């Protein structure tokens, strides 16, 4: 019986995953990208941005685990073995980091910290005009696990908070919008727009010139989802024209962000290297272990991915 677990990622050496899995499953045959051995032994792939076609070359693979909550990195390559279930990690630690990231950058904008840093550099004592929290409307694109957690935390801080999802959702204390019409309405009322959508056929390029134009003048944009949602020229034009006051970008159409890209040096843009939420084996492994056990005993899997919808 094939029972090896392959860790397919270049982000870390996978040793924390090996430790977490062995604590629950006992000694395992743990393979890494540089040490895959006989591919026929591999039963489970834990994958983050796998090389195209690699997983399809494991003849006995029975379970594919996305090491990211987003699964576009797996589905994009279109060469996964047919009929093999795909599950994602569900990681409270990562969810908490994502909402922390959004709150940090939103508050930094809301409380004019960049302006005060600039004043300090020129030794100016210059109070900025204060905006009441009640008048800073936060809009969240995507109301999955991360969007809901982020929305609840902004609402708890007192920001009027709304969210948009493909299908209708009802959440306590959050104004919700859905569908194409709801998308425009969400944009029109968002002084801070936070993107946590999955990347699918429907969301690629969603944030184009029309979308940025629909935001109120002076809006701030935080992207901690996927760069593929954004038409970069449209975002840069909206920043250059002054329609948007700034942006924090953690994700990009091309990663790593090429050195010549304008985002690196744009005075209104903060760039971080896809770190808003890092998968943490401590918090993500229980769900993965559960799925490995379920697969081995023929039970229904949890956190499954529907390749058709793309999440
Ligand atoms: C994820 C990510 O999908 O970190 O989890 O981008």
Separation of first and last alpha carbons in the chain: 30
Average pLDDT over residues 110-120: 98
CA angle, residues 22, 13, 88, in degrees to nearest 5: 65
Known active-site residue 226: yes
| % pLDDT > 70, the chain | 99
pLDDT computed for residue 77 by the predictor: 65
Of the pLDDT bands very low, low, confident and very high (cuts 50, 70, 90), residue 32 is: very high
Average pLDDT over residues 241-257: 98
Best mutation site among 12, 229, 279 for ligand 1 pocket (most ligand atoms within 8 Å of CB): 279
pLDDT at 270 over 80: yes
Best mutation site among 94, 195, 228, 250 for ligand 1 pocket (most ligand atoms within 8 Å of CB): 94
Q: What is the enclosing helix (H) or strand (E) of 5?
A: strand 4-8
> DSSP string covering 113-130, please?
HHHHHHHHHTT---PPPP
pLDDT computed for residue 153 by the predictor: 98
- The alpha carbon of 134 and the centre of ligand 1 are apart by a number of angstroms equal to 31
Mean pLDDT estimate for the chain: 96
Each residue of 129-139: pLDDT tens digit?
A: 999 999 999 99
Tell me the backbone φ, ψ of residue 100, rounded to 5 degrees: -55, -45
CATH topology of domain 93-271: Rossmann fold (3.40.50)
Q: What is the enclosing helix (H) or strand (E) of 109?
A: helix 92-110
Known active-site residue 274: yes
C-beta of 277 in contact with ligand 1 (< 6 A): yes
CATH 3.30.565.10 fits 4-91+279-297, yes or no: no
Gap between the Cα atoms of 282 and 93, Å rounded: 8
pLDDT computed for residue 78 by the predictor: 65
Is the omega angle on the peptide bond into residue 256 within 30 degrees of 0, that is, cis? Answer: yes
Atom of ligand 1 nearest to the CA of 71: 3
- The alpha carbon of 162 and the centre of ligand 1 are apart by a number of angstroms equal to 23
Question: Can you give the pTM of this predicted structure?
Answer: 0.94
pLDDT computed for residue 145 by the predictor: 96
47 phi-psi bin (left φ>0, alpha ψ -120 to 50, beta other): beta
pLDDT at 121 over 80: yes
Q: Which residues pair with 51 in a beta bridge?
A: none
Q: Which two tokens stand for residue 237?
A: 């034009």
pLDDT at 1 over 80: yes
Sorted by where each begins, the domain ranges of the chain are: 4-91+279-297, 93-271
Of the pLDDT bands very low, low, confident and very high (cuts 50, 70, 90), residue 55 is: very high
Q: Judge whether 4-91+279-297 and 93-271 match in fold.
A: yes
pLDDT computed for residue 311 by the predictor: 86
């Amino acid at each position: 019986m094939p029972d090896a677990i392959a860790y397919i990622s270049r982000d870390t050496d996978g040793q924390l995953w090996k430790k977490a899995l062995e604590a629950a499953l006992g000694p395992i045959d743990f393979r890494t990208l540089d040490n895959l051995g006989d591919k026929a032994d591999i039963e489970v792939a834990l994958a983050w941005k796998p090389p195209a076609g690699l997983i399809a070359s494991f003849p006995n693979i029975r379970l594919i685990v996305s090491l990211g909550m987003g699964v576009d990195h797996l589905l994009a390559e279109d060469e996964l073995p047919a009929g093999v279930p795909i599950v994602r990690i569900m990681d409270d630690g990562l969810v908490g980091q994502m909402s922390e990231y959004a709150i940090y950058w939103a508050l930094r904008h809301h409380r004019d910290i960049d302006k005060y840093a600039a004043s300090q550099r020129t030794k100016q004592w210059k109070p900025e005009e204060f905006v009441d929290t009640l008048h800073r409307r936060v809009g969240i694109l995507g109301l999955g696990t991360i969007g809901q957690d982020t929305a609840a935390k902004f609402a708890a801080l007192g920001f009027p908070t709304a969210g948009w999802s493909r299908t209708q959702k009802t959440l306590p204390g959050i104004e919700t919008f859905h569908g194409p019409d709801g998308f425009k309405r969400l944009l029109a009322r968002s002084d801070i727009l936070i993107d946590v959508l999955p990347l699918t056929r429907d969301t690629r390029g969603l944030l184009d010139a029309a979308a940025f134009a629909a935001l109120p003048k002076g809006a701030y944009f935080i992207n901690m989802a996927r760069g593929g949602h954004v038409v970069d020229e449209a975002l840069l034009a909206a920043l250059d024209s002054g329609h948007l006051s700034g942006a924090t970008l953690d994700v990009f159409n091309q990663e790593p962000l090429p050195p010549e890209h304008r985002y690196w040096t744009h005075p209104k843009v903060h760039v971080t290297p896809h770190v808003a939420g890092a998968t943490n084996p401590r918090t993500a492994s229980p769900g993965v272990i559960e799925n490995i056990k379920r697969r081995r005993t023929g039970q229904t899997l949890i956190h499954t991915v529907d390749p058709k919808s793309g999440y």
